[in-house]
Structure 1
Amino acid sequence: MEYSHEIIMPNDDIPFKMFVFEGRNGNYMREKHWHRSIEIFALFEGELEFYVNELRYSLKPGEFMLVNSNEIHSIHSPKKNMTIVLQIPLATFEKYYTEERFIYFSHSSRLQDEEVMKLIGDMYETYAKKKCGYELKVQSQFYMLIYLMVTKYRETDVDGEMVKHNRKLNKLSTITAYMKDNYARDLSLDSLSQTFGYSPTYLSRMFQKYARMNYKTYLDNLRLEHAYKDLVNTEQAIGEIAIQNGFPNSKSFSKVFQKKYGMLPSEFRKEHNT
């Protein structure tokens, strides 16, 4: 199969998003995050490393990772890869919720995995070519994929703690969405608590218990993601990158960067450019 190098982000023509993973060129890290949609990463070439709820998974070609709604995950892409990502709105599965708008999919080695990979590859190829009637064909393949998910991968016996965790992350998602839009501004725990009507102590505990990291770490990682891209893709001064991404100065940026990557931003940039 031949793949386009263009990232595809469909809007109105199909009821989900399908695109080539942005970390396809390697040397890429997506920090811990979560979202409402169901996400599938189908790896066709190269390798990917996932952390889902603190567990590590290494993907090889022909394998996919299924990430549930509000499942905390991070992705490491050290080398070039060809990965197709599907983001499926949670409402797609509305008829199959267990309780409190909750649905959970397991993913272990199954006979259907090969069929899922073929479906995703065919969907992408059909969509990329955009021949007459492509939307109909892609949607028919998509609903076959949904059928496999709800009949072969869905777990109907879920415990109450998992449902509670999902509910709390829904509330936390409103806060983190605000943080993502305002990461470059002053976002102290006190100011954020006032914005959303929580006490700083309660908000801090929410992050620690349900996001499994403290508030400061989440904010630093969010800023670091943007700063990392600027460091790799621009020739801006390190101090300028620090300030425009919410760090108070280059020293604080360097401290966070070194803790995460084991070297200073200047050392990383020099190594990356050689």
Structure 2
Amino acid sequence: MEFTYEIIETDAKIPVKYIIHNMPDAVAVPRHWHEALEISYTIHGSVQNFYIDGTNYTTKQGDIFVINSNAIHSVFPNFEENRKALSLFFTYNFLKENIPEIAELEFCTFIGDGSEALQKLLDEFIKEVEGNKNSLHLKALIFEMLYILVRDFSAPKKVVTQITTEKHLERLTEITSFMRENYAEEIAVSDLANHFNLTSEYFSRFFKKYMGTTVLQYLELIRLNKAYQLLMNTDKAISYIAYSCGFPNEKSFTRVFKKVYYLTPNKYRMESKKS
């Protein structure tokens, strides 16, 4: 998932989308947002550098996080052989249909391992999708989870979301889309600012305010995501991957990669093949 504004499409047979993350599926997910309500459940191991609306978390086994609609979030997991996690997405249309007052509610971000009932339902959901995939049972679990979230972990909205206007949402989407399309080129902050008819100073402040990271750091993460896919799915040389993904040299790629994954690209590739 390398989107900034992400469109969530559900499974054809059930009203949610789900992703089960296993090692070596440890791709970094740059900061993005979506209208869907997301549950993140750490099944085994831990997830480091989990950013949600200005706060960084490290999860442990059994932890449950809820990412509210339009909350900016990102994940930068370390290499960990036994990690397994679930991402579960409830689309906004599905929420609106079943919870008419959804626009007036916000959900507790960190549930931890403090809800035995919700954890049990998530475990049953995982068991079912990895087994029989009985859609009727899955639908029952989905509605029960949603009921518990609303009953125990929701409250009337007290604060306005970080991105306060449609105008800001649209501008950020345009900017980040342009960066994703041109990541392999040599791009300076001034080039981006000029493209959007803004001064470099205003452009940098605007981006940092709403994305919580600098323009160049975000561009590095887009490039890193592309490079990760090549690293894990091809036998291309590290130098080739670096240059083709927009890094000025192999050293720069290695520096950025180690900052997120704590290993050199070559070492990470070897470790993942062993696992």
TM-score range, shorter chain: 0.7 to 0.9
1:20 matched to which residue of 2?
20
What aligned pairs does 1:30-109 form with structure 2 within 5 A after superposition?
A: 30-36=28-34, 37-49=36-48, 50-69=50-69, 70-79=71-80, 80-94=82-96, 95-98=100-103, 103-109=105-111
1:139 matched to which residue of 2?
139
Tell me which amino acid in the other structure corresponds to 1:125. K
TM (norm. structure 1) is 0.76
TM (norm. structure 2) is 0.75
Distance of 1:140 and 1:123 partners within structure 2: 10
Number of residue pairs matched by the alignment: 259
- 1:249 deviates by 3.5
Determine if contact 2:258/2:265 at 8 Å carries over to the other structure.
yes
2:212 matched to which residue of 1?
212
What aligned pairs does 1:1-274 form with structure 2 within 5 A after superposition?
A: 11-21=11-21, 24-25=22-23, 28=26, 30-36=28-34, 37-49=36-48, 50-69=50-69, 70-79=71-80, 80-94=82-96, 95-98=100-103, 103-109=105-111, 113-130=115-132, 134-160=134-160, 162=162, 164=164, 168-169=168-169, 171-193=171-193, 196=196, 198-257=198-257, 260=260, 265=265
Q: Structure 1 pair 253/48, CA: closer, same or farther in 2 (3 Å)?
A: closer
Distance of 2:84 and 2:113 partners within structure 1: 23
Distance of 1:96 and 1:197 partners within structure 2: 39
- 1:183 deviates by 2.8
Farther off after superposition, 243-252 or 255-264: 255-264
Root-mean-square deviation over aligned CA pairs = 3.5
Tell me which amino acid in the other structure corresponds to 2:23. N
State the Cα deviation string for residues 97-145 of structure 1 (Å, max 9, x = none). 446xxx52114458972211222222233334346xx223212221222
Determine if contact 1:96/1:150 at 8 Å carries over to the other structure.
no
Q: Which runs of 5+ in 1 are unaligned?
A: 1-8
Q: Structure 1 pair 105/235, CA: closer, same or farther in 2 (3 Å)?
A: same
Determine if contact 1:43/1:59 at 8 Å carries over to the other structure.
yes
Distance of 2:25 and 2:129 partners within structure 1: 28
Where 1:20 maps in the other structure, the secondary structure is strand
Q: Which runs of 5+ in 2 are unaligned?
A: 1-8
1:4 matched to which residue of 2?
none
Distance of 2:129 and 2:263 partners within structure 1: 42
- 1:268 deviates by 5.7
Where 2:236 maps in the other structure, the secondary structure is coil
Determine if contact 1:18/1:85 at 8 Å carries over to the other structure.
yes
Distance of 1:169 and 1:151 partners within structure 2: 30
Distance of 2:218 and 2:46 partners within structure 1: 26
State the Cα deviation string for residues 51-106 of structure 1 (Å, max 9, x = none). 3344343323222122223232324243222222212223333322446xxx5211
